Amino acid sequence: MIDDIELARALHVLFVAHWIGGVSFVTLVALPLARAASDARKGWALFESIESRFSAQVRWTIPLAGAAGLWMTWRLDMWPRFADPSFWWMDAMVLVWALFMIAVFVIEPFAHRRLEAQAARDPEGVMRRLYRVHLVLLAAASLTIVGAVAGSRGGLFP
């Protein structure tokens, strides 16, 4: 029988898979398709409809991934890890989580109208900018996943 810590770890990975897997799909499939559309406005509309549906879902999975992570940290008293450079991936997890929380709960609701207005004038430019931001976030999240899986089993380096 698994205990609460192993359950939290399993749920943590499930929520992270939904969230970062979706970021990967939006970045590597939806955005390139939208940018390649012959009519940029139609491309923007396609991206917008995919992103708004996904963003409604990650408003649940991002906080839940953080809650499961915090539960493990608290139960196993892992706090000293945050000050230990060999556990850089613990800090990376919190940093990536905080960036996405800010993006989804602060920037998106408040900057949505401005972005819409910019996209009405220059959809290609807005999608190019969003693509770059998504790529950087996806790269940071991917590095964090590699660091966390390897780190929780002894690390990447001897």
Report the nearest approach of ligand HEM to the CB of residue 125 (Å). 29
Report the nearest approach of ligand HEM to the CB of residue 89 (Å). 8
Q: Which residue, 45 or 104, is less far from ligand HEM as judged by CB?
A: 104
Report the nearest approach of ligand HEM to the CB of residue 56 (Å). 19
79 to each of 29, 63, 108, 132, how far by Cα in Å? 38, 19, 31, 33
* For the chain, counts of helices (H) and of strands (E): 6, 0
Q: Which residue, 14 or 115, is less far from ligand HEM as judged by CB?
A: 14
Contact set with ligand HEM (CB under 6 A): 9, 12-13, 16, 20, 65-66, 69-70, 72-73, 78, 93-94, 96-97, 141, 144-145, 148-149, 152
Report the nearest approach of ligand HEM to the CB of residue 23 (Å). 9
Tokens of 36: 């390649």
Q: Which residue, 58 or 119, is less far from ligand HEM as judged by CB?
A: 58
Asked whether 44 and 52 are in contact (CB, 8 A), the reply is: no
Tokens of 86: 């060999």
DSSP string covering 46-80: HHHHHHHHHHHHHHHHHHHHHHHHHHHHHHTT-GG
Report the nearest approach of ligand HEM to the CB of residue 153 (Å). 7
* Residue whose tokens read 């991934």: 65
- Amino acid code (one letter) for 48: E
Q: Which residue, 136 or 149, is less far from ligand HEM as judged by CB?
A: 149
Q: Which residue, 66 or 123, is less far from ligand HEM as judged by CB?
A: 66
